[in-house]
Amino acid sequence: MSSVSAEAQRRRTFAVIAHPDAGKSTLTEALALHAHVISEAGAVHGKAGRKSTVSDWMDMEKERGISIGSSALQFEYAPEGHTGEPYMINLVDTPGHADFSEDTYRVLTAVDAAVMLVDASKGLEPQTLKLFKVCKARGLPIVTVINKWDRPGRTPLELVDEIVSEIGLQPTPMYWPVGEAGDFRGLARITPDGEVDEYIHFLRTAGGSTIAPEEHYSPDEAASREGSAWDATVEEVELMTMDGAVHDQELFETCVTSPTIFASAMLNFGVHQILDTLCELAPSPRGRASDPKAVAAATGTFDESREIEDSFSGVVFKVQAGMDKNHRDSLAFMRIVSGEFDRGMQVTHAQSGRSFSTKYALTVFGRTRSTVETAYPGDIVGLVNAGSLAPGDTIYEGNKVQFPPMPQFAPEHFRILRAKSLGKYKQFRKALDQLAAEGVVQILRNDLRGDAAPVMAAVGPMQFEVMQARMENEYNVETVTEPIPYSVARRTDAASAAELGRQRGVEIFTRTDGELIALFGDKWKLAFIEKEHPELTMEPLVAD
């Protein structure tokens, strides 16, 4: 086995997805705690003592207690009894709020598996359902974690039945709870053939800020210790097994079944069991096919796919500025797809054909960064001030390769953005360009409104708040916004733009990437023009 293959085999790259307030950032912190890369979890009981988590570093995230941007954490982890090199974990915490769906969807193109976090009292929620469909469409295996089992909630079988009926995913128990929701005593470990073989009893720690000690008991000892609570656990597992809910690796990797674990991220109960399951079952990095459209348009040597042992290639899934106020730089987050990455290597940007050096390359842990010398498939590397890179771009060495573009959502909210002070125009333009490159919002311009009054287009209105807050905090530019009388956007072309621009209730803009965008007053105006002018181009703004 080559060194690249060996390194790839020990990588586990996954995202944590869920509805807002299901506990994603708390779980992310707990996973880092159990890997011994932090000494104390950032989330503790009580508002007065609550700290921000390591993955939520923006001021708005700290103030509101929600994730509004994805963040990457990399660390090593060795399960108990594991021999050989530890696993390298690349974990991405994602925003749960629907207004930031585009960021989450991009992350899901850069990982090999997902942890679907479900609130024990609320079950499946709308955003969870949407994200599951994306995972299913992309063939991402899912590990299901029923979180907040320390609080009153629904029964285990009721939650399992809902997952089966609502999304057609069959949970297969790996660690089943002992004690009903709100009385979390521990977990029963389940063997691959559905047998209960051990009881893990958890002991609480102050505020759940440190690793919860464990006591291990045989099934007979557990029956004597826990009585009816243990009997109920065994009975539920037997019912699941009789129904065929046992782990099958092939069905898991094809998103048919989902290993299931019950946990309390706040108390650090069941957390290292999640890591152990991911290390054991989640797939290691694999190759990736090129964009069929790019292959069809190619005139020279073009690789239709890259396997992990091939020459270096990577895909950018996120660009983030403002992580380091001392340097005012930006980071392009790249998922390595194939080959070995060495800092300083010369690579080619597939979209422009230009060559550039990767002299400044970092690994990240939330906001903390360190220089990376070498990285392998599955790793996430931050390239500093790679200004020509945007989400979805490919960089490579050797034969050309170009991976499929990132999804881009249709905006539904639009507002004009202006700098409060004309003296801040230069900073305003710089901030606008950098934040637009990140994908915080889409920026639309036309000659009528000029560069001083661009239009922001967003999936949800909270994106506007993030844009304004970051312009003020990171670039010292105060802004104001104004409503604009449009609610529907469509992609058009030069031939259609002239006629569309003459229609009442329609305005034509150019997006930062050069696309012509037509904004319509409402869906009825769009429907009327489509009926009157079927020859004109009015395409939905959704990536292929």
Q: How far apart are CA 219 and CA 196, in angstroms?
A: 7
How many CB atoms are located within 10 Å of the residue 10 CB? 17
- In this structure, are strands 142-147 and 113-119 parallel, antiparallel, or unpaired? parallel
* Structure confidence at residue 66 as a pLDDT band (50, 70, 90): very low
- Whether 247 has a binding-site annotation, put simply, is no
* Structure confidence at residue 68 as a pLDDT band (50, 70, 90): very low
pLDDT single digits (tens) 298-357 = 878 899 999 999 999 999 988 876 555 555 567 888 999 999 999 999 999 999 999 988
- Whether 97 has a binding-site annotation, put simply, is yes
119 φ/ψ angles, rounded to the nearest 5 degrees = -70, 125
- Whether 327 has a binding-site annotation, put simply, is no
pLDDT at 96: 53
pLDDT at 23: 87
- Whether 95 has a binding-site annotation, put simply, is yes
Residue 230 C-beta-side C-alpha neighbours within 13 Å:
19
**Token pair in block for residue 188:** 């029963």
Does position 544 have pLDDT exceeding 50, yes or no?
no
Q: Which residues of 48-76 are buried (b: 16+ CB within 10 A; e: fewer)?
A: eeeebbbbbbbebbeeeebbbbbbbbbbe
- Whether 96 has a binding-site annotation, put simply, is yes
How many CB atoms are located within 10 Å of the residue 121 CB? 15
pLDDT single digits (tens) 204-263 = 988 788 899 999 999 999 999 999 999 999 999 999 999 999 999 999 999 999 999 999
pLDDT at 59: 53
Beta strands in 101-152 (DSSP E): 113-119, 142-147
Q: How far apart are CA 167 and CA 535, in angstroms?
A: 39
pLDDT single digits (tens) 143-175 = 999 999 999 999 999 999 999 999 999 999 999
User: DSSP states of 163-218 as a string?
Assistant: HHHHH--EEEEEEEEES-TT---EEEEE-TTS-EEEEEEE---GGG-SPPPEEEE-
* Structure confidence at residue 105 as a pLDDT band (50, 70, 90): confident
For domain 413-532, give the CATH superfamily: Peptide chain release factor 3, domain III (3.30.70.3280)
User: DSSP states of 384-413 as a string?
Assistant: ET-TT--TT-EEESSSB--PPPPP-PPP-E
Mean pLDDT along residues 80-91: 91
Least confident of 51-65, 285-299, 352-366: 51-65
Which CATH architecture is the domain 3-281 placed in?
3-Layer(aba) Sandwich (3.40)
Mean pLDDT along residues 56-73: 52
For domain 288-396, give the CATH superfamily: Translation factors (2.40.30.10)
pLDDT single digits (tens) 394-430 = 999 999 999 998 766 678 899 999 999 988 999 999 8
**Token pair in block for residue 385:** 């001030």
Domain residue ranges in the chain: 3-281, 288-396, 413-532
pTM of the model: 0.81
